[in-house]
Amino acid sequence: MNEKARETIGTFVMKYLLGNRRVKVQEGKKHVACLGDSITFGAGVGGDPSRTWEVLWNRKIGEDWQVLNYGVNGRTMQSAGDYPYTRDRIYEDSLSCKADLYLIMFGTNDAKPQNWNEDRFRTDYENFVKRYLDLPDHPRVVLMIPPHCFPEGDGPIAAFGIDIRNFEGIISTVNMIAEKYSLQVIDLYTLTEGHPEWFADGVHPNQKGNTRIAEHLFQQIKL
């Protein structure tokens, strides 16, 4: 494991409790709520909010919008995963923030061997998406396919034990749920494939990666 990966692990472990942090919602603005794991949180830039893709995208879409970061390190979509997102207070906060648009991106931590079960992932993913579609304000929901992960060696295992062979099931699940509910999909896997230089450790986007994701969102999502 290289030094950058070790540094990221240290940041990652220290911030596991961020599921209990509170996101401040500003009144008088329209809101986008971004739900996900450490890729959403911004682990590849040390959690520096000025360099996350959410903040970079927010600068592009203007001051009328507030992009809310509900990402939590290490979280899984699967309720039987090692760190389920739905057990965090931030999950309940996201449901009550009354966002106009929800971006949902999970799967990277679900791809770890101890977590992966494709049928369970598909069931939990659909139930999760429906929670937001069924909110009283009927917000817009956009699904995101997580970025590509780059193994450290010749095998299929990337940093943090992520098995890239399981991404096929993640991608098919996201596309299937999106088609079933007529939702837009943002494909970060294809966007980042072939660009290891966009990652701090093969998993978490660095400044270049976050900048490119923000540009892609600005191009793909019409507000």
Domains, the chain, ordered by start: 3-14+29-220 (3.40.50.1110)
User: Is the CB of residue 49 less than 8 Å from the CB of residue 42?
Assistant: yes
What is the average pLDDT score of the chain? 92
Phi then psi dihedrals of residue 114, to 5 deg: -70, -15
- For the chain, the maximum distance between any two Cα atoms, rounded to a whole number of angstroms, is 51
Selected residue with higher pLDDT from 80 and 12: 80
- pLDDT over 70 (residue 50): yes
* Ranges 4-13, 108-117, 194-203: which has the least confidence: 4-13
- pLDDT over 50 (residue 86): yes
pLDDT of res. 153: 85
Mean pLDDT, residues 175-197 taken together:
98
Mean pLDDT, residues 102-108 taken together:
98
Residue 152 — pLDDT band, cuts 50, 70, 90?
A: confident
Mean pLDDT, residues 41-55 taken together:
92
* 3 state SS of 55: helix
Selected residue with higher pLDDT from 2 and 51: 51
pLDDT of res. 120: 98
User: Is the CB of residue 110 less than 8 Å from the CB of residue 163?
Assistant: no
d(CA 10, CA 69): 21
